[in-house]
């Protein structure tokens, strides 16, 4: 076990005047705040920070809309009403189908919109904060839903998906960053994994809605699911209006008073509340000051310099080596198939209604899995959970792909069972564990931009997957059917190999400790056991 102790360097402390009583008081308060949060159990932290958890939940709920719409588009590809309205007649199948090119186009249009939203948010959120950003794009979303609802053609529908996707790109970053910044270390995996639960709730909701309208005739069968999206923007806009700003975001923008007011609102009233708030604020200022000592202007370019390059690598992927990490790893481990579950199941031999029924079971796994994962977080690290899930999914994908070479009812049932098991495994492990990883790995000053880069790479990976997956599955294209799983078994294996060598364990680490571990270039396999003391040199001075 590693016994080396990691401490701040002289370079990191060059901006501190240790003859100044204010600096001494700041450091003492910071040490006090760090020690107080470390002493909390999960139950104690929930009691003390229930308001912070509530607001993290409110803002993260915006991801329900993204999960709902992205999957509902893919479900429409196997819906009779949608095929009759927008498809072309296939004499082999005997009914209308959506061409693979448009299957890719409809899904990719929202992803391209998300890429634009990510870029916009990278600049907006750093300048005006989480709340105003969330409110503006909630209003944007409410207006843009009109386009897909009234779309007369696939081209207009794709444009509407692009415009809605801009908001979803913003919500991806805002929700994850806010959820990890307003709660103490011990609660971070729960609030960030809730982001995944919201995404899964949207998927489950869309699956239920598509199944409910399966027997409706005409355009109402696909228009009504779009109309239900108007339920969300107004209450979420109101929630964002009343939510406190992220104190970390406020400190980075130099708004210390705003950070103090936010901290007062984020914790319960106690006799020591003001002292605890001052201690927490001092720790945030201390950690931000250490980050600023060696770093520049928090630009995108800085994400690819020095130790930040390693952090960025972990949050996105290395295209040259075909390795995927964190966010993109969710796609390459086989989750892409889950997005096309309806058409995948139909290609495997199920009827339309049977495919919709199984799709509801698959979607329920997203919600159930996150809840089950919450019980794993106290006992296992993020990297352990993530890699274990990848390994199990690898064998499931191999089995599904192998069954694709047979053609009988028993094989179809086995494929359905394995797909449900694989989905549940993904949502107990890979899905929830991903969000704490991408929230904790970046430095505080570059957190928004690093998450943006990670999600950008994830969406690019999604674009590529959406180009090839429909063609793999479609009977009028490559017609691989269930054998498509073998392709994703390969990408899964590459991802897991990368994780073994490069994915560090951040369980129970504060943001300040993670900064020091990266600054000292600690190998990923030693992250878990290396001792870190952010205040060691301060004690020497004091």
How many helices (DSSP H) and strands (DSSP E) are in the chain? 27, 6
Residue closest to 485 by CA, chosen among 429, 425, 405, 428: 405
pLDDT at 302: 87
**Span 20-293+300-309+321-541 CATH architecture:** Up-down Bundle (1.20)
Other residues' Cβ atoms within 10 Å of the Cβ of residue 498: 21
Tokens for 19, please give them.
């003859």
Q: What does the domain layout of the chain look like in residue ranges?
A: 20-293+300-309+321-541
Q: Are 411 and 466 in contact (CB under 8 A)?
A: no
Residue closest to 433 by CA, chosen among 170, 190, 198, 202: 190
Q: Residue for token digits 């107080």?
A: 36
**Beta-carbon-side half-sphere exposure of residue 398 (alpha carbons within 13 Å):** 9
Q: Are 342 and 77 in contact (CB under 8 A)?
A: yes
Q: What is the pTM of this model?
A: 0.77
Share of the chain above pLDDT 70, in %: 80
Instruction: Report how far residue 416's alpha carbon sits from residue 235's, in angstroms, rounded to the nearest whole number.
Output: 37
Residue closest to 232 by CA, chosen among 52, 59, 55: 59
The SS3 call for residue 508 is coil
Cross-strand pairs, 97: 88
pLDDT at 244: 93
Instruction: Report how far residue 324's alpha carbon sits from residue 339's, in angstroms, rounded to the nearest whole number.
Output: 18
Residue closest to 451 by CA, chosen among 197, 110, 130: 130
Instruction: Report how far residue 422's alpha carbon sits from residue 260's, in angstroms, rounded to the nearest whole number.
Output: 45
pLDDT at 440: 87
Q: Is the pLDDT reported for residue 272 higher than 80?
A: no
Q: Are 488 and 333 in contact (CB under 8 A)?
A: yes
Other residues' Cβ atoms within 10 Å of the Cβ of residue 520: 15
pLDDT at 137: 93
Residue closest to 404 by CA, chosen among 473, 355, 353: 473
Instruction: Report how far residue 111's alpha carbon sits from residue 462's, in angstroms, rounded to the nearest whole number.
Output: 7
pLDDT at 4: 56
Tokens for 244, please give them.
């406190």
Q: Are 386 and 376 in contact (CB under 8 A)?
A: no
* Mean pLDDT score, 378-399: 90
pLDDT at 30: 63
Phi-psi region at 153: left, alpha or beta (left = phi > 0; alpha = psi -120 to 50): beta
pLDDT-wise least confident of 3-12, 20-29, 225-234, 294-303: 3-12
pLDDT tier, 327 (very low <50, low <70, confident <90, very high otherwise): very low
The SS3 call for residue 531 is strand
Tokens for 322, please give them.
């075909």
Q: Are 485 and 397 in contact (CB under 8 A)?
A: yes
pLDDT tens-place string over residues 26-67: 566 666 666 767 777 888 888 888 999 999 999 988 888 877
pLDDT at 1: 45
Instruction: Report how far residue 57's alpha carbon sits from residue 137's, in angstroms, rounded to the nearest whole number.
Output: 18
* Mean pLDDT score, 271-281: 80
Q: Are 509 and 381 in contact (CB under 8 A)?
A: no
**Beta-carbon-side half-sphere exposure of residue 1 (alpha carbons within 13 Å):** 4
The backbone torsions φ and ψ at residue 408, rounded to the nearest 5 degrees and listed phi first, read: -155, 165
**Beta-carbon-side half-sphere exposure of residue 255 (alpha carbons within 13 Å):** 16
The backbone torsions φ and ψ at residue 99, rounded to the nearest 5 degrees and listed phi first, read: -55, 145
Mean pLDDT rounded to a whole number for the chain: 79
Residue closest to 2 by CA, chosen among 509, 518, 527: 527
Q: Is the dihedral of CA 210, 212, 217, 219 positive or negative?
A: negative
pLDDT tier, 326 (very low <50, low <70, confident <90, very high otherwise): very low
pLDDT-wise least confident of 16-30, 106-120, 370-384: 16-30
The SS3 call for residue 242 is helix
């Amino acid at each position: 076990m590693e016994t080396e102790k990691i401490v701040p360097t002289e370079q990191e402390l060059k901006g501190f005047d240790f003859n100044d009583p204010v600096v001494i008081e700041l450091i003492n308060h910071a040490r006090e705040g760090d020690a107080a949060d470390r002493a909390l159990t999960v139950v104690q932290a929930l009691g003390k920070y229930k308001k912070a958890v509530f607001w993290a939940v409110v803002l993260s709920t915006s991801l329900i809309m993204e999960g709902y719409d992205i999957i509902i588009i893919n479900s429409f590809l196997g819906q009779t009403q949608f095929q009759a309205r927008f498809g072309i007649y296939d004499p082999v199948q005997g009914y209308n189908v959506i061409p693979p090119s448009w299957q890719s186009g409809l899904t990719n249009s929202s992803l391209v919109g998300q890429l634009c939203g990510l870029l916009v948010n990278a600049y907006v959120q750093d300048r005006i904060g989480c709340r105003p950003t969330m409110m503006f794009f909630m209003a944007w979303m409410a207006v843009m839903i009109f386009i897909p609802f009234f779309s007369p053609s696939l081209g207009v529908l794709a444009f509407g998906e692009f415009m809605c996707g801009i908001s979803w790109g913003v919500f991806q970053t805002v929700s994850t960053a806010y959820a990890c910044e307003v709660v103490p270390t011990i609660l971070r995996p729960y609030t960030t994994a809730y982001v995944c639960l919201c995404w899964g709730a949207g998927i489950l909701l869309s699956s239920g809605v598509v199944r409910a309208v399966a027997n409706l005739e005409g355009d109402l069968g696909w228009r009504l699911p779009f109309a239900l999206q108007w339920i969300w923007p107004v209450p979420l806009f109101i929630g964002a209006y009343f939510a406190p700003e992220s104190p970390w975001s406020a400190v980075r923008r130099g708004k210390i008073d705003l950070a103090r007011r936010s901290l007062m609102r984020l914790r319960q009233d106690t006799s020591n509340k003001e002292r605890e708030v001052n201690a927490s604020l001092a720790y945030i200022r201390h950690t931000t000051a250490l980050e600023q000592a060696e770093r520049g202007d928090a630009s995108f370019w800085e994400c690819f310099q020095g130790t930040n390059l390693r952090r960025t690598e972990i949050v996105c992927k290395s295209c040259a080596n075909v390795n995927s990490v964190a966010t993109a790893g969710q796609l390459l481990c086989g989750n892409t198939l889950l997005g096309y579950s309806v058409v995948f199941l139909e290609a495997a031999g199920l009827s339309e209604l049977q495919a919709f029924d199984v799709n509801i079971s698959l979607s329920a796994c997203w919600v159930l899995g996150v809840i089950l994962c919450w019980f794993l977080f106290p006992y296992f690290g993020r990297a352990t959970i993530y890699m274990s899930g990848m390994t199990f999914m690898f064998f499931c994908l191999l089995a599904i792909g192998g069954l694709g070479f047979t053609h009988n009812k028993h094989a179809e049932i086995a494929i359905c069972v394995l797909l449900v098991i694989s989905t549940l495994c993904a949502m107990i492990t890979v899905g929830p564990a991903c969000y704490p990883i991408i929230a904790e790995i970046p430095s505080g000053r570059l957190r928004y931009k690093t998450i943006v880069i990670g999600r950008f790479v994830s969406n690019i990976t999604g674009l590529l997957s959406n180009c090839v997956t429909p063609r793999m599955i479609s009977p009028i294209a490559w017609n691989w059917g269930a054998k498509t799983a073998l392709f994703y078994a390969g990408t899964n294996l590459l991802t897991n190999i990368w994780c073994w060598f490069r994915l560090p364990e951040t369980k129970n680490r504060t943001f300040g400790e993670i900064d020091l571990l990266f600054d000292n270039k600690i190998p990923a396999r030693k992250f878990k056991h290396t001792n870190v003391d952010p205040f060691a040199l301060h004690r020497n001075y004091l």
